[in-house]
Structure formats: C-alpha cells, structure tokens
Amino acid sequence: MKRRTALKKLGLGMASMPFLSFSGKDQVVHWDRGYGLEYTSDEEYWKQFKKAYYAVSEDFINLENGYFGIHPKSVHDAYLSNIKKVNTLGSNYMRNDFFPELAQIVQSLETFSGVEEGELLITRNATEALNVIIQGLRLEKGDEVLLSRHDYGSMIEIFEMLEQEEGIVLKIVPVPFDPKDDQEVIDAYMSQVTPKTKCALLTHMMHLTGQILPVAKIARALKAEGVEVVADAAHSYAHVDFNIPDLEVDFLGANLHKWFSSPLGAGLLYVKKDRISDLRALYGDSRLPKDDIRRLGHYGTPATPVVMTIPIALQFNKDITVPVKEARLRHLNQYWTQQARSIPKVIMNTPVDPNRSCAIASFGIEGIKSGDLVKRLYDEYGVFTVAASLEGRQVTRVTPGLYSLQTDFDRLLEGIQAIAKKA
Ligand SMILES: Cc1ncc(COP(=O)(O)O)c(C=O)c1O
C-alpha cells in the first residue's frame, strides 16, 4: 500500500488537520485538568492534553521524538514572540537586558537541576558541552579511556580524534543489551580498567536502545580507581527524574531541546565547582578567573531567542513535573514493547526490566534490514521511526512524545505483526 493510501485509511492527511488553537500573545495554554501520576494510563486525559498543548502534524504518526522534542504551544508562542522582540529592539536589547536575564535563566536551571550556583552553562547542544569537557580534560598519549559502542557517535568521534591526534587509547566496554542487574553493567565497565585508565564516558540513557545506565554506581566504582567520569545526559535530562548531583559525576553534558522541550539549539554543561579550574577552555578565554564556569563558554553570540524561551519551557516542566512525564513515557514504552516481545521474529534491543528504559526502545525483525523496515512502516502504515544498526543488530528506534497515544502504538504493532509474518 502506498503511503498516501495508508494515510487515507488512517483518516489522516492535510484535510483532517485539526484546528490549531494557539494561545496567541498571552503564551498561556488553557489547561485546568491538573497533572498527576493518577492520569498515567488515562488515554482520554492524554487526548485532551495533546489538544491543549501540541500542534503536531496529523499527516503521519511521529514515533521519532528522540532527535528533538516538539515543543508545546506555550513554548512555541514564546519563541516566536522572542524572535520578534530581538528583531525589533536589536542590539539595544542585547546590550542592556539580555545578559542580566541570561544570568537569571542559568540560576533557575541550576535550581531545577539541583546544582550549586556557578556550576551550569547554557550551550547550543549536548555535543558542544561534551566537547568542552572531553577536550578540556587534557588527555595525553597513552591515557586509556572507556567508552562503549552504545554511546552517541559524535562523542565516540571526540575520543577517536584524540586517539589519532594525541595517542590516547580507546577501551571498548561490552555493555550488555539486557543486563540482569546493575552489577553486570558495573562489571562490564570495571573489566576494562587498568592503571592507565584516565577517563570514562557514561551515557545515562543510550540513544539506540534506550537503556538507562546505573551511572552513580558505575561512577563510584570508577572514581575509586581514580578515573574521571563524564556523563552524557542528552536524553535523560528532564525525561527521567534525577538531580544532576545524584549521578555522582563531576562533568556532564545535557540537551534542553530533547525532553526539556526548549526550541532547537540549547544544551547544558555542568562542571562540579571544584573541578572547573581543571578544564582547559576549548574556546579561548584569558580574562575570567580559572574557577569561573563562564570561562568555558566563550563561544560567541548565542541563539538569543532560543535562550530567552528557556523559562517558558522550564515552567512547562515545573507544571507537569518530570516524574509525571517519566511515568507516562514509560507506560507508552511498556504498552508496545510488552506486546512486540511476543511477536515471532521480533528481536528487542531494549532491556526487559521497565526501570532500565523509559520512552526510547528499539527492535529488529529477523531477515529484514532496519532501513527497509522503517520505510515500510512509514509507507504502508504512516508510522515514522528511524533506522540504525548497533553491534550487528538491526535497530528500528521508536520514541513517543508526550502527545503520543496508545492508538499510535496499535498502528505500529499492526505494522510489525504484518511485516514479521511475511518476513
Ligand atoms: C546520547 C546522546 N548524546 C548526545 C547527543 C547529541 O545531541 P546534540 O546533537 O543535540 O548535541 C545525542 C543526540 O541524539 C544523544 O542521543
């Protein structure tokens, strides 16, 4: 079936695009039903929530919310008016108002993240934050670093560049796809530690499998061996409930444009206060004191309207709360993965234990390349996912957003069933 036909069958397409009631200038979403864990599996509640908060395309079912998070209407409206404000006031705003506002925004993020004043910087994304950290650590020839093939490609590339240019040594940790307990994961990391191990990258939530690592426990074991631990929280920040210090790492990079719901182009760099002076700045700075985190953020004029919109996204997170987001996203994940696991020829890449993943999960079907599977799900069922491969496994990654409904997964499962049957 061609995609258009499939969309027609779904009753989707431009003609069925619902009236989008943007809240206009006041940037207020009208929602009086409250928020709470009691609504986690209440589909009627989430249907209304979607209507109130989101204006997503109804042309297809978007189960690829891992790339970035479609932000709610309140954030979208604020973003548009901030673009207008900057472009109306010009550098008068930048020279007089923006930087005091930025300081307040950073402070509010510090409070939200549970860190001390002066430990956070806003970056353009997690990649930038993690480059500042990893390249700032002054790794030298012969230093060994621990990473896994499950980590994000751009982070692996930082270490590969340092391998080529500085002569550091990469040790690949065999992260289990479906660990039976935390100890198995800790052991996998510790098995690669030698007296030369200087640094380890721990991805809190893996982008291709959705696996959540017990970062604090691994970090504790590694730090006892004198290893610097860097956490990649690109996917976990504002997705699962934690304060940055809970992870027990000194260095962390995160995204605001994934689960925090800011506009595209915002991330976070965290460095524990007493470690700031240990990093060499990636972007030249000769003025600020060595223990001032802003020394690490000399990367020029920011995407100002994006940064100005962060408080509205923060308010959204405070209203709904991260535990409620986490519970709903995990519910959706479990709704489809539990059914998919029992379909013959389906191979799940995500741990069985519900607490070892949240929104993200991935799978393959025996005998089908993930690229072909993703195309068929889209063309024949109107379901948008993304394809990859990992350590020889086929990966079709499925990631709901907060606007996703169980019926979206019914359609996905219909596709998986039919495709697997004929495979
Ligand atoms: C685990 C992980 N780390 C880092 C990144 C990089 O994020 P960005 O491209 O926004 O810097 C991603 C992006 O998907 C990711 O999944």
Tell me, yes or no, whether 179 and 121 share the same domain. yes
At 129 the pLDDT is 98
Tell me, yes or no, whether 184 and 300 share the same domain. yes
At 58 the pLDDT is 95
Edge-to-edge order in the sheet of strand 228-233: 120-123, 267-271, 251-255, 228-233, 197-203, 144-147, 169-172
Q: Ligand 1 mean position to 95 CA, how many Å?
A: 32
Bigger pLDDT: 11 or 161? 161
Question: For the domain that residue 33 is a member of, what is the CATH number?
Answer: 3.90.1150.10
Q: Ligand 1 mean position to 125 CA, how many Å?
A: 8
At 109 the pLDDT is 98
Tell me, yes or no, whether 358 and 330 share the same domain. yes
Q: Which residue's CA is minimally distant from atom 14 of ligand 1? A: 67
Percent share of the chain, pLDDT over 90: 92
Does residue 9 carry a pLDDT above 60?
no
pLDDT tens column, 162-192:
999 999 999 999 999 999 999 999 999 999 9
pLDDT tens column, 24-74:
444 457 899 999 999 999 999 999 999 999 999 999 999 999 999 999 999
Q: Ligand 1 mean position to 51 CA, how many Å?
A: 29
Q: Ligand 1 mean position to 135 CA, how many Å?
A: 17
Which ligand 1 atom lies nearest to the CA of residue 126? 11
- Asked whether residue 255 is domain-assigned, the answer is yes
Pocket test for ligand 1, best of 124, 232, 360 (most atoms within 8 A of CB): 232
Tell me, yes or no, whether 103 and 185 share the same domain. yes
Q: Ligand 1 mean position to 18 CA, how many Å?
A: 32
At 269 the pLDDT is 98
Which ligand 1 atom lies nearest to the CA of residue 203? 1
Choose one of 292, 317, 342: the last residue of a domain: 317
At 28 the pLDDT is 57
Does residue 13 carry a pLDDT above 80?
no
Tell me, yes or no, whether 162 and 288 share the same domain. yes
Tell me, yes or no, whether 210 and 301 share the same domain. yes
Least confident stretch, 6-15, 43-52, 128-137, 233-242: 6-15
pLDDT tens column, 140-153:
999 999 999 999 99
Instruction: Count up the domains in the chain and report the number.
Output: 2
Cβ burial of 34 (10 Å; 0-12, 13-18, 19+) is exposed
Question: For the domain that residue 141 is a member of, what is the CATH number?
Answer: 3.40.640.10
- Asked whether residue 70 is domain-assigned, the answer is no
234 lines ligand 1 (CB under 6 A): yes
At 14 the pLDDT is 35
Tell me, yes or no, whether 354 and 208 share the same domain. no
Amino acid making up residue 205: M
Does residue 288 carry a pLDDT above 90?
yes
- Asked whether residue 361 is domain-assigned, the answer is yes
- Asked whether residue 67 is domain-assigned, the answer is no
- Asked whether residue 73 is domain-assigned, the answer is no
Residue span of the structural domain in which 416 resides: 3-62+321-422
126 lines ligand 1 (CB under 6 A): yes
- Asked whether residue 68 is domain-assigned, the answer is no
Mean pLDDT, the chain, rounded, equals: 94
Q: Which residue's CA is minimally distant from atom 16 of ligand 1? A: 207
Tell me, yes or no, whether 234 and 302 share the same domain. yes
Percent share of the chain, pLDDT over 70: 93
At 29 the pLDDT is 75
Tell me, yes or no, whether 143 and 111 share the same domain. yes
Q: Ligand 1 mean position to 126 CA, how many Å?
A: 6
Sorting pLDDT into bands at 50, 70 and 90, what band is 210? very high
Pocket test for ligand 1, best of 150, 152, 213, 261 (most atoms within 8 A of CB): 152
pLDDT tens column, 335-354:
999 999 999 999 999 999 99
At 110 the pLDDT is 98
Q: Are 161 and 192 in contact (CB under 8 A)?
A: no
152 lines ligand 1 (CB under 6 A): yes
At 22 the pLDDT is 34
pLDDT tens column, 96-105:
999 999 999 9
